[in-house]
Structure 1
Amino acid sequence: MGFWGTYVVLRSDEPPAQVLPAITALQGADSRDGAWSAGWRVWVVRDSAGSLPDDLLEQLHAVTGAPVLLGRVLDSSAVHVVATGTSVRLWEAWLQLKYAMGYLLDPPAPFDDDGNYLGDGWSDPAYEAKVELTRSEILAQAPGGMAGASSAQAWARDAGLVPDAVEAIASVLDGRETFAEDLFLQLLQRLGLNPT
C-alpha cells in the first residue's frame, strides 16, 4: 500500500495548523525537510490525520495572502496538483493521471453473473469508454505537456520563483516514477522551490 495524503506548500513561516487552527487534520502535518526557496515550507498531511476541506487551497491563500500549492497523492500512484498565486488565480495538473483513473472511477469486477473469473485480459468496453471520456475532460481542465508546463511556469514566476525551462517542467508533468510523490518533489524543484 502506498502513501495517501496531501503536500501543502506555503510561503509562510507558520505551519498550516497555526494558519488554519480550526482544521483538525492540519494538526498532524509534518514538516518536509529540504533546501526550499527562501520563505517557503513544505508540509505533509497524511490521510490518517483526517479529512481536509475541498477549499483548503482557497482558505490558505485567503489567510496568508501568499501563493499556495497542494499535491494530493493517491496511493503513491498519482498526484493531483493545484496552486494559486497573486495574479495567477489557479493552476492545476495531474502527475501520472493514467494511474489515478482506477481511484477516480471504480473499475468493474472481473467476474460474470455466476461468479466466474473472466481472465486477466478481460476489459469492459463501457468502463474503458467512461475512463477515456473522464481522462479527456480532466486534461481539458488540467493539461500536461507543454501547455501544462507553460501554466506551471507562469504560476512559479507569479509566486516569485525562478522556474526551469518549459521543456524541463513538461518532462516532469509527463514523467513516470514508481512513487508518484517522488515525481511531485521533482516538480517542486523544476518550479524553483528547491533549486540545486
Structure 2
Amino acid sequence: MGFWGTYVVLRSDEPPAQMLPAIRTLQGAVSRGGPWSAGWRVWIVHDPAGSLPDDLLEQLHAVIGAPVLLGRVLDSDAVHVVAAGTSAQPWSVWLQLDSAMGFLLPPPAPFDDDGNYLGDDWRDPAYEAQVELTRGEILAQAPGGMAGARSAQAWARDAGLTPDTVEAITSVLDGHETFAEDLFLLLLQRLGLNPA
C-alpha cells in the first residue's frame, strides 16, 4: 500500500496544526527536511482516511496571506497539486492523472448478473466512455502540459521563487515515477523551492 496524504508547502515556520488547530489531522504533520528556499517549509500529513477538508488550501491561504501549495497524494499513484498565490491566479494540476482515474471513478466489478467472472480482458464500454468524459472535465479545470507549466511558473514567480523553464516544468507534469510523490518533489525543485 502506498502513501495517502498531503504535502503542505508554505513560507512559514509555524506548523499547520498551529495555524488551523480545529483540523485534528494536521496535528500529525511532520516536517520534511530540505534544503528549501529561505523561509519555506514542507510538511507531510498522513491522511489515509481522507479527513482533511477540501478547502484546506483556502483556509491556510487565509491564515497566512501568502502563497501556499498542496500536493494530495493518492496511494503513491497520483498527486493532485493545488496552489494559491498573492497575485497569481490559483492553479491546479494532476501528476499521473491516468493512475488517479481508478480512484476518482472506480471501475465496475468484472462479473455478470449471475456472479460469473467475465475474464481479465473484459472491458465495459460505458465505463470507459465515462472515464474519458471525466478525464476531459478534469483537464479543462486543471490543464497539464505547457498550460499547467505556465500557471505553475507564474505562481512560483509570484511566490518570490526562481522557477525553471516552462519546458522543464512541463517534463515533470508529463512525467511518470513509481512513487508519485517523487514526481511531486521534483516539481518543487523545478518551481525553485528546492534549489539543491
Per the normalisation by structure 1, the TM-score is: 0.98
Deviations 1:52-90 (A, max 9, x none): 111110110111011000000000000000000001131
SS at match of 1:118: coil
Q: CA deviation at 1:50?
A: 6.6
Shift of the 122–49 alpha-carbon distance from structure 1 to 2, 3 Å rule, reads: closer
1:134 partner amino acid: T
Runs of 4+ in 1 over 3 A off after TM superposition: none
Find the counterpart in structure 1 of residue 13 from structure 2: 13
Find the counterpart in structure 2 of residue 39 from structure 1: 39
Deviations 1:31-56 (A, max 9, x none): 11110000000001111487111111
Deviations 1:94-138 (A, max 9, x none): 000000000001100011112111111111000000000000010
SS at match of 2:192: coil
Find the counterpart in structure 1 of residue 97 from structure 2: 97
1:100 partner amino acid: A
Counterpart CA distance in 2 for 1:125 and 1:87 is 44
In the alignment, is the contact (CA less than 8 A) between 1:28 and 1:45 conserved in 2?
Answer: yes
Counterpart CA distance in 2 for 1:134 and 1:73 is 19
* Identity among equivalent pairs (%): 84
Residues 1:163 and 2:163 aligned together: yes
RMSD over aligned CA atoms reads: 1.0
SS at match of 1:45: strand
In the alignment, structure 2 segments of 5+ residues that lack a partner are none
Shift of the 67–2 alpha-carbon distance from structure 1 to 2, 3 Å rule, reads: same
Find the counterpart in structure 2 of residue 147 from structure 1: 147
Counterpart CA distance in 1 for 2:40 and 2:3 is 23
Deviations 1:141-194 (A, max 9, x none): 111111110110001001110000000000000000000000000000000000
Matches within 5 A, 1:1-196: 1-48=1-48, 51-196=51-196
Give the stretch that moved more between structures: 105-114 or 182-191. Answer: 105-114
**Number of corresponding residues:** 196
Deviations 1:3-52 (A, max 9, x none): 10000001101010111111111100011111000000000111148711
